[in-house]
Structure 1
Amino acid sequence: MLDRYGRPETRRRYSKGEFVDLWETATRRTMTRAERETLARGCVGVTMLRLGLSECAPPTNLAFGDPGTHRAIATAEAVLALGEVANVRVRNFRACVAEATEEDLRARLEHGLEQARATARDIWTGIPKERIKRMRDARFAAKLEGDRRTFARVSEYVLGLSDILATEPSDARCFLRSVAADPDLSLLRGLDRNLPAGCPRDWETVIFAKRFWSGQEHIRDEDGNFVRNAAGLRRTRSSETPDATGFVPDPMTGQVDMSGDFLRGKPGHTNFDYGFYDLRSDSWWHANHREFDNAQPMYVYQSSAERFFTGRPDFDRSVMCIGFVNRSVDRDDLDPAAGGSGVGWVRR
């Protein structure tokens, strides 16, 4: 990305209203109420809007990671996670103490704050400072390199899929037969799921990313049975430590089984983060959080790859996914001067 003077730029920030204006200018229509509500969901809403979704979360049947950097991230996270969770607990207690007006409640919170501080102190003093720095640096570098490699791999898959779509298959079955005949694409699992309706000649691929926490599990009782909620669904929870054996990329294809993702975040941290890749501007679009109120405004970000790939310590897993969109469904064929479909209408 370049700024107005042609200099490299790593991030631009837009208010929700500014993003809506950009979107409406590019699509030459008014954003519907349902689309505004989708956008208000934050990072996931921005990606859902690009995929033409309003209810279901972005599909992760075609999710990929980097086998080569997986171990380095898991090793660093095993050292740092407990301390980072403890730090958040201290900050939360401190905020509650500052807001407490009742004397008894304030006293209880101050006691909890001291206990939280003691726990955090014990965790961090047990790790040499040099090792903490080394693990933070290693995690940062591994996340950046892992996302670079994953993006390169996924881009190759997308190129192969786009070549097949360019032949204008007559229907989904014809498209899938061509996929099955490709030596690389035929190795991918679940490619037949979540395909859009309509003719494949109207389809296009979208690359999007998801960051999340690996420490997720089903809750079981003393006998090992699943604990269920009132609706009969299995209850889940997050742990303070990562799961090094979860969401491991396939060594050959890089594909990741996301069936164990229950949307549970690292305790005290953000549950997940989404963003999608815009080919025209070679940038990633994401958001800070969902819409709350004027005190916590939602912002949409346009970031360079380097800025987006570094992520945050909230997450120890990052996957890049392939989605399909039917351009003919509630989308207009914009001419090149207008920027084309998607959100590549801003300056590059």
Structure 2
Amino acid sequence: MAPRLRHLLPAAICTALLSASALPATADPAGPGFPDERTFAEVYGLSPADVEAGNATSLGQRAPHVRVVPPAEPVVEPDPEPEAETDEDGNTVTALSVTDYIRHWQWDRNAQKQMDDVQRDALSNGCVGLTILNSHAPYRMPPGTLAFAEYDKDRAERGEQRYLKHNPDEAEQANAYGAKMGFSRSGGFARARDVRLALNEALEQSRTIDEYRTHVKADETLKGVKNLDSALVNSSHWTPQGMNPSKLRAVIFSKRFWSEQDLDATKEQRELGEADAFLPDPETGQVDMRKDRNKARPGMINFDFGFYGAQTGSKGRWIHANHANLANRPMKIYKSNFSNFTRYLGDFDRQVFAIAFVPKDSANLVDEE
């Protein structure tokens, strides 16, 4: 039986309480060359009950009144964002309250429109709510049909051997650890950016779905990529009666998750993870997310979403949150640099960078930070 690993893509609410500082403290790694393997709960100060409640909320198992929709805010020029915090490893983050985020979001829109009831309801769901809000698809889970990653077998082998050097009697764990280390987060992001730019060129030149199909078929960057047609047609913004592809743009979001998603997995299997799960296609980098069930590694958070903020002029930062907006625990929203958002945590052994389609006039969309 193949060894197992950790966490995955569509469903609900990141859960965490931040300490006084917006940036988590850095812990010593497990050994020479090992990344920080603390858990989401340890980094953000969550109790076991917090983790259990958060995962239940994200899977729709708690009463809806526990989640609080923030009130409407006037469209006024917001106060400047607080200074970003940076730790010794170069991880940078800016923390915002829900009120501040709503006011900045409204002010930065092209038309400076007020965030409506449906949008604030989506936002209140936490990290996944931020991605839903910024992809302008209320009550639609972020799609996993165009998800990408980069995997290097040689890098995985080196990770496995490094683990065995420190833990010679843990072959299965070493294999799982090596699989996790085989993923390049920066490489996966780079592949998603290439796909996004190619899709935006195709969209810009297309006035009909047939023109879009012709352009994506001719683009070498998109060769072999599946779901290019269905991802557009099945997006919440597609209306066959008169939809013009040039009115849409491709944007990037990310999901971190645990690899063992088999509903019949034992606790031991789920703890170890599945080394062969959710590996990208070696030619296209595309990851098949159809077996994603939002299952968590035992005792840990089930997933974490982030929206790539450069697409809305947010200086290349990733927008994410600590948990849903709760009555006794207002959510915090973070704008992190790449290294802070993608930092290694024990909850997750997979991260994909995925594409969604949004209306071009819905935000100040840009191609590069």
Given the two structures, how large is their TM-score scaled by the length of structure 1? Answer: 0.67
Following TM superposition, by how much is the alpha carbon of 1:308 offset from its aligned partner in structure 2, in angstroms? Answer: 1.4
Amino acid at match of 2:100: E
Would the alpha carbon gap of residues 73 and 154 (structure 1) be closer, same or farther in structure 2, given more than 3 Å must change? Answer: farther
Equivalent residue number for residue 192 of structure 1: 229
Map of 1:245-324 to 2, 5 A cutoff? 245-279=276-310, 280=313, 281-294=315-328, 296-324=329-357
Match of 2:113 among 29, 44, 66: 29
Instruction: Write out per-residue CA displacement over residues 161-207 of structure 1, whole angstroms, 9 at most, x where no aligned residue.
Output: 2222232x111221111101122313101111231322111111111
Q: 1:130 to 1:243 in 2, by over 3 A?
A: closer
Q: In structure 1, what is the equivalent of residue 209 of structure 2? A: 172
Match of 2:262 in 1: 217
In 1, Cα distance between equivalents of 2:222 and 2:300:
36
Alignment of 1:37-56 (within 5 A): 37-56=121-140
Matched AA of 1:265: A
Deviation track 1:269-309 (CA, whole Å, cap 9, x = no partner) reads 11111001122311111111112233x33111000112112
Distance in 2 (alpha carbons) for counterparts of 1:70 and 1:205: 32
Question: What is the DSSP-based 3-state SS (H/G/I as helix, E as strand, rest coil) of the residue aligned with 1:22?
Answer: helix
**Alignment check: 8 A CA contact 2:271 2:298 kept:** yes
Q: Secondary structure at the match of 1:293?
A: coil
Tell me the distance in 2 between the aligned counterparts of 1:298 and 1:4.
Answer: 19
Runs of 5+ in structure 2 lacking a partner? 1-80
Call closer, same or farther: CA 1:69–1:47 in 2, change over 3 Å: farther
Higher helix share: 1
Let me know the Cα RMSD of the aligned residues.
3.6
Deviation at 1:63, TM superposition (A): 0.4
| AA of the residue aligned to 2:250 | T
For the pair 1:325 / 2:358, whether they are aligned, the reply is yes
* Aligned AA (1:310): R
Report the equivalent of 2:101: 19
Q: How far apart, in 1, do the equivalents of 2:269 and 2:320 lie?
A: 24
Q: 1:63 is matched with which residue? A: 147
The alpha-carbon deviation at position 61 of structure 1 amounts to: 0.3
Query: May I ask how many residue pairs the two structures share in their alignment?
Result: 264
Q: Structure 1 residue 219: deviation in Å?
A: 3.3
**C-alpha deviation, 1:70, in angstroms:** 9.4
Contact 1:217–1:238 at 8 Å: present in 2 too? no
Match in the other structure for 1:155: 193
Distance 1:177 1:45 in 2: 34
One-letter amino acid of the counterpart of residue 251, structure 2 = V
- Measured after TM superposition, the shift of residue 245 of structure 1 is 1.4
Aligned partner of 1:149: which letter? G
Aligned CA distance change for structure 1 residues 161 and 206 (closer, same or farther; 3 Å): same
- Matched position secondary structure for 1:307: helix
- Structure 1 residues 243-272: Cα deviation after superposition (integer angstroms, max 9, x where no partner): 111111111111100011011111111111
| TM superposition shift of 1:322 | 1.0
- The TM-score, its normalising length taken from structure 2, stands at 0.63
**Unaligned runs of at least 5 residues, structure 1:** 81-126, 221-236, 333-339
CA 1:149/1:69 → structure 2, altered by over 3 Å: closer, same or farther?
Answer: farther
For residues 50-76 of structure 1, the C-alpha deviation after alignment (integer angstroms, 9 at most, x for no partner) is 111111210010001112169739966
> 1:9, CA displacement in angstroms?
7.3
- Quote the residue 2:65 is aligned against: none
Give 1:184's aligned amino acid.
T
- Check conservation: 1:73, 1:316, Cα contact below 8 A: no
1:14-68 per-position Cα deviation (integer Å, ceiling 9, x unaligned): 1111111111112212111111111011000000111111112100100011121
Question: Given the superposition, is the C-alpha separation of residues 298 and 318 from structure 1 closer, same or farther in structure 2, using an over 3 Å criterion?
Answer: same
CA change 1:21–1:9 in 2 (3 A) is farther
Question: What is the match of residue 273 of structure 2?
Answer: 242
Distance 2:282 2:340 in 1: 27
Sequence identity (%): 32
